[in-house]
Amino acid sequence: MKQSTITVSTTVNSEAKKVWEYYTKPTHIVNWNFADPSWHCPSAENDMKLGGTYKARMEAKDGSFGFDFEAVYSEISAGKSFTYEFGGRKATVLFNDLGNQTEVVVTFDAEQENSIELQKNGWQAILENFNTYTAHN
């Protein structure tokens, strides 16, 4: 059975260099990497090299639930794109330089537990948090 992929995107009103930095540096990741305001990302690590590991802790602010997201980089084109693998799935993030704006496109393998719509909405919400954070900092 072929695995479904999901694509989400946003256009950030910032130049590509800043967008790449805010998406990949742990000091920024902790400020936007959650889908809902009742959640947060208390810690993140990013060893951005082939075979390097990305780790982020996501938790409900009330402490009722949390999980660790961990991925390993399989492709990196600095400033332009990267692919990482997690739990038998993969995601690719593209940074399309539009001058004073940058389009961020995330394509990821769907998982089987939750509906495609729920997964798409969750990843899109995280991407919109990223857009808001980047545009205001």
Q: Which domains does the chain have, with CATH numbers?
A: 5-135 (3.30.530.20)
Secondary structure class of 10 (helix, strand, coil): strand
pLDDT higher than threshold 90 for residue 2: no
Encoded tokens for 113: 């537990």
Strand runs (DSSP E) across the chain, as ranges?
A: 5-12, 39-46, 53-60, 66-77, 81-86, 89-97, 102-109
pLDDT higher than threshold 70 for residue 131: yes
Query: Sign of torsion, CA 15 16 22 23?
Result: positive
Residue 34 identity: F
Q: Is the pTM of this model over 0.75?
A: yes
Can you tell me the distance from the alpha carbon of 73 to that of 136, in angstroms, rounded to the nearest whole number? 28
pLDDT higher than threshold 80 for residue 45: yes
